[in-house]
């Protein structure tokens, strides 16, 4: 890189001249404006600017240009300082001393920088470079700012599918499956829903005059959430408190254990499988399946569909099963009517009419109400059955049965063994957790294996405890059913029509003539009817 051209004030007898040192190689030529600024810097006074411009334009520098017809006092070396880009750097441009002046020293340069307000990021190496090999009319970056450390925007990662568009799947045969649409985003207790990476605001820098250089602004975000959600202590993670489904509405995470279908269960919804309660405003069309870990409530009619509930099933209008409909509930079933369906429940069944259906309830069956009719099919319970009317004048075969409780006793014993095993597993887990806590208290660091165990226990222990509670509640329920089965019977408030078959614990009786207002009980190897 060549040296730039520069100029110098030279002292002559009774005059003062400007001497030009031409550029070497690809060095740059200074301008007339720079000479004028230098003259202003040293308070030179008036001189022939037009003549000097013509002299510089001519580029014949073998003779000096006289700027004053008298000698002037010596002028020491000078430094013009310019601060750029809001203090990001300071640029110095040096000018030589007059022929009788003195060169700038380090102290002179530092003094000029101080006068210019430059107090930070001074580059001593650049100053040394100039002092060792001075070049004039050239820019030296003599100070640089400490730049700010840029931060970053806050980000949120959602750990569930944000796609809310239901798309039917294509079967292997090329047909469209409208059953598995994936509308529901299921979550379990303890599932992580979202993770916030907080905004980093960065760190301010310092410009050459000592002022702060702020980093770029960043977007700050927080986790927004509704009920049934736990926020971690550092406010950076969301966890579900319940089993249910998760949705994102206007950046707000929402978890509900009640899923409401605003119309029918059909091709627009597909089959529904849900961890909580399902509330259906409309009907359930033929061929569709609704599964819920809690209750299923249907305000419309259920056609030839399948409903499976971990809790209760409530059909406010009833079910026309078309010989393919199924109801299965761990709890109770309540319906307006049930026709041509298969029904199973662990609790009680209450209905206004049961027609041509296969029905089994572990607890009592109550078919009373305005019609209170059981006609056709097979209806059975482990305890008591009550109805207004059994069978019909058409003599359609109708079987009403009180089942043997031997199977219930076996289930009760199996549950007892499972409860025992679960309690032992819980106690073992508690022992390991106590050991880990003691180790931490003694000042030991967590091993990777211990850390994994703690995370597993945080999820498994509450679930195991809940499982034990549920199994014990079920055992208690079964015990009540077993106890009540000692005094079982079939009660009819109005008429038992001919063609009905009564079964009580492996003893049966065919009704050949109509009987009114009676209760059937077992007496030895016979079934007798008692008037009520």
Using one digit for the tens of pLDDT, what is the confidence trace for 478-489? 787 777 666 688
> What local confidence, expressed as pLDDT, does residue 454 receive?
84
The H or E element that residue 229 is part of is strand 229-231
369, pLDDT greater than 80: no
Which of the four pLDDT bands, split at 50, 70 and 90, describes residue 166?
very low
Angstrom CA distances, 514 to 134, 332, 399, 420, 460, stand at: 128, 31, 15, 51, 59
Compute the Cα dihedral for 263, 265, 268, 270 and give only its sign: positive
| pLDDT at residue 183, as a whole number | 60
Give the gyration radius of the chain's Cα atoms: 47
Q: Which of 315-319, 414-418, 469-473 has the highest mean pLDDT?
A: 315-319
Q: Residue 411: pLDDT above 50? A: yes
Least confident of 93-97, 124-128, 413-417: 413-417
Percent of the chain with pLDDT over 70: 94
Q: How confident is the model at residue 175 (pLDDT cuts 50, 70, 90)?
A: very low
Is pLDDT above 50 for 96? yes
Provide the pLDDT confidence category of residue 50 given band limits of 50, 70 and 90: very high
Q: What is the pTM of this model?
A: 0.53
Model confidence over 222-233: pLDDT tens digits?
999 988 899 999
Residue 374 — pLDDT band, cuts 50, 70, 90? very high
Question: Roughly how many angstroms between the first and final C-alpha of the chain, as a whole number?
Answer: 121
Confidence label for 177 from pLDDT (cuts 50, 70 and 90)? very low
Q: Mean of the per-residue pLDDT values for the chain?
A: 89
User: What is the mean pLDDT of the segment spanning 41-67?
Assistant: 92
The region of weakest confidence among 105-109, 297-301, 520-524 is 520-524
Q: Which residues contact 469 (CB under 8 A, 6 or more apart)?
A: none
In tens, the pLDDT along 257-271 reads 788 888 899 888 888
Evaluate if residue 184 carries a pLDDT over 70.
no
Backbone φ, ψ for residue 211 (5° rounding):
-85, 155
């Amino acid at each position: 890189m060549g040296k730039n051209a520069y100029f110098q004030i030279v002292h002559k007898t009774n005059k003062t001249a400007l001497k030009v040192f031409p550029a070497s190689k690809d060095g740059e030529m200074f301008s007339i404006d720079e000479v004028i600024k230098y003259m202003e810097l040293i308070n030179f006074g008036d001189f022939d600017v037009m003549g000097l411009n013509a002299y510089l334009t001519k580029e014949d520098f073998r003779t000096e240009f006289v700027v004053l017809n008298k000698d002037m006092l010596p002028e020491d070396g000078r430094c013009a300082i310019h601060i750029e880009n809001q203090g990001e750097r300071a640029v110095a441009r040096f000018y030589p001393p007059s022929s009788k002046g003195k060169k700038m020293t380090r102290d002179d340069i530092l003094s000029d920088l101080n006068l210019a307000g430059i107090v930070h990021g001074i580059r001593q190496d650049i100053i040394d470079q100039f002092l060792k090999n001075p070049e004039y009319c050239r820019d030296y970056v003599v100070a640089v700012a400490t730049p700010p450390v840029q931060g970053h925007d806050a980000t949120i990662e959602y750990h569930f599918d944000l796609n809310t568009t239901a798309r039917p799947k294509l079967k292997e045969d090329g047909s469209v499956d409208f059953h598995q649409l994936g509308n529901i985003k299921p979550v379990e207790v303890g599932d992580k829903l979202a993770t916030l990476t907080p905004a980093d605001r960065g760190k301010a820098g310092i410009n050459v005059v000592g002022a702060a250089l702020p980093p770029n602004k960043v977007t700050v975000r927080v986790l927004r959430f509704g009920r049934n959600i736990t926020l971690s202590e550092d406010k950076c993670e969301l966890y579900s408190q319940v089993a249910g489904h998760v949705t994102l509405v206007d950046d707000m995470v929402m978890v509900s254990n009640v899923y409401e279908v605003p119309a029918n269960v059909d091709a627009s919804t597909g089959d529904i499988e849900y961890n909580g309660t399902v509330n259906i405003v409309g009907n359930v069309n033929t061929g569709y399946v609704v599964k819920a870990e809690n209750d299923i409530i249907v305000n419309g009619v259920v056609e030839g569909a399948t409903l499976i509930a971990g809790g209760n099933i409530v059909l406010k209008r009833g079910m026309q099963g078309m010989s393919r409909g199924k109801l299965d509930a761990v709890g109770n079933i309540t319906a307006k009517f049930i026709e041509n369906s298969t029904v199973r429940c662990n609790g009680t069944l209450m209905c206004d009419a049961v027609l041509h259906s296969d029905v089994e309830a572990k607890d009592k069956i109550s078919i009373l109400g305005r019609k209170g009719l059981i006609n056709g099919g097979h209806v059975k319970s482990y305890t008591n059955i009550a109805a207004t009317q059994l069978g019909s004048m058409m003599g359609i075969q109708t079987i009403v049965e009180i089942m043997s409780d031997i199977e219930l006793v076996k289930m009760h014993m199996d549950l007892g063994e499972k409860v025992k095993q679960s309690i032992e597993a819980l106690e073992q887990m508690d022992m390991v957790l106590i050991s880990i806590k003691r180790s931490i208290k003694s000042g030991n660091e967590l091993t990777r294996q211990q850390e994994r165990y703690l995370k597993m226990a945080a999820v498994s222990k509450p679930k195991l405890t809940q499982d034990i509670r549920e199994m014990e509640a079920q055992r208690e329920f079964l015990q009540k059913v077993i106890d009540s089965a000692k005094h079982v019977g079939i009660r009819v408030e109005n008429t038992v029509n001919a063609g009905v078959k009564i079964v009580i614990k492996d003893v049966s009786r065919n009704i050949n003539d109509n009987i009114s207002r009676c209760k059937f009980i077992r007496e030895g190897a016979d079934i007798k009817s008692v008037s009520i």
